[in-house]
Amino acid sequence: MKIAVCVKHVPEQARKIDPGTKRLDRSGEGAINPFDVHAVEEALRIKEDKGGEVVVVTMGPAGAQDSVRKALAMGADEALMITDDAAAGSDLVATTNALAAALEREGADLVVFGQQASDSDGAVLWAAVADRLRLPVISQVAELEVSDGKVRGKRQTEFGYDVIEAPTPAVLAVSDAINEPRYPSLKGIMGARSKPQRTVSVSELGVDEAGEAGSKTTVRELSDPPPRGDTVKIEDDGSAAEKIVEFIAERKLL
C-alpha cells in the first residue's frame, strides 16, 4: 500500500504577518506543523501493519526541508517537495492546484492529512484536494481501521461520533488524538539524509494558477485585536498556587 502524507512547514514562534507583503512572515525558524506529526505517525503505523511505503509531500520554502527530514527520520521512505517562488502566497485554491497535481502523480492508495495547520487554522485543505483528486474523504478521524480495499474512521462532530467507511484510494484527515507520535531514533535521524528526496516546481507539475497570482482571496488590511482588560502572566517560582488563590479571592470567586 502506498501512503502519501501531507505535511506543512510552519513558523515556530513569534508568528506575525509582514505588513508589507501582508503574508505570514516565514523568515524565522520553522518546524513541522505539530498536527502533521500525528499524520506521519498514522501513515507509518499503517505501513508497519499492511506493508508498503510512505511518501511525504509538502509545498513550502526551501526551509521546509527540515520538516521533511523530521518525517523521514520518523520512518517515512521518501519525500516530494513543491518548492518554488511562484508558489509563495498561495491561498486554498492555489495550494489545492499544486498539491493535488503532485498527489495525482504519486497515485497513492491513501492520502493522509493532519488536523489543521497551526498557522492557518483552516482545517479545510483535505476536502479541497479530495474533490480535485475525485476521491472520497473522511475528516477529523480519531480512530482508524484499514482493511483490504477500504478504510473506516470514527470521528467527532457537533452531535457526537460518526463512523464512516470509504473504499480506497481515499483521503483522510486525522485528529491530534489518534495516536502518540514516536520520536525519531538516532538511526532514523542519520538515515534520513540518504533517503530519496525530489523537488518539483509548479510549472513542472503543469499548474498555471499558483501562488499569489493563482489565489482567489486577498488580505486587504491588518489591525490590532481589540484591547483586553488587565491581564497578568506569572512564572511559577513555587508560589503560583498562593497567587492564584489571591487572584480569585480578590475577584470574590472563592
Ligand X SMILES: Nc1ncnc2c1ncn2[C@@H]1O[C@H](COP(=O)(O)O)[C@@H](O)[C@H]1O
Ligand Y SMILES: Cc1cc2nc3c(=O)[nH]c(=O)nc-3n(C[C@H](O)[C@H](O)[C@H](O)COP(=O)(O)OP(=O)(O)OC[C@H]3O[C@@H](n4cnc5c(N)ncnc54)[C@H](O)[C@@H]3O)c2cc1C
Residues that bind ligand Y (CB under 6 A): 115-116, 123, 140, 176
Distance CA 145, CA 46 (A): 9
147, 40 contact by CB (below 8 A): no
Pick between residue 65 and residue 140 the one whose CB is nearest to ligand Y: 140
Q: Which does 7 bind (CB under 5 to 8 A by kind): other proteins, ligand X, ligand Y, none?
A: ligand X
Residues in 179-218 at the binding interface with ligand X, rule: CB under 6 A:
none
155, 138 contact by CB (below 8 A): yes
Q: Which does 39 bind (CB under 5 to 8 A by kind): other proteins, ligand X, ligand Y, none?
A: ligand X
For residue 72, give the nearest of 191, 198, 199, 172 by alpha carbon: 191
161: exposed, middle or buried (C-beta count within 10 Å: 0-12, 13-18, 19+)?
Answer: exposed
Could you tell me the smallest distance in angstroms from the CB atom of residue 70 to ligand X? 14
Could you tell me the smallest distance in angstroms from the CB atom of residue 135 to ligand X? 15
Helices 65-74 and 34-50, axial angle in degrees (round to 10): 40
Is residue 89 near ligand X by the rule CB under 6 A?
no
Cross-strand partners of 143: 154
Of 148, 149, 183, 220, the one binding other proteins by CB under 8 A:
220
Pick between residue 95 and residue 168 the one whose CB is nearest to ligand Y: 95
Q: Which does 33 bind (CB under 5 to 8 A by kind): ligand X, other proteins, ligand Y, none?
A: ligand X
Which CA distances in Å does 140 have to 32, 56, 130, 246?
19, 20, 14, 41
Residues in 124-153 at the binding interface with other proteins, rule: CB under 8 A:
124-132, 134-140, 142, 152
Distance CA 38, CA 132 (A): 24
Q: By CB under 6 A, name the binding residues for ligand X.
A: 6-8, 33, 35-36, 39, 57-60, 95, 99, 113-117, 120, 122-125
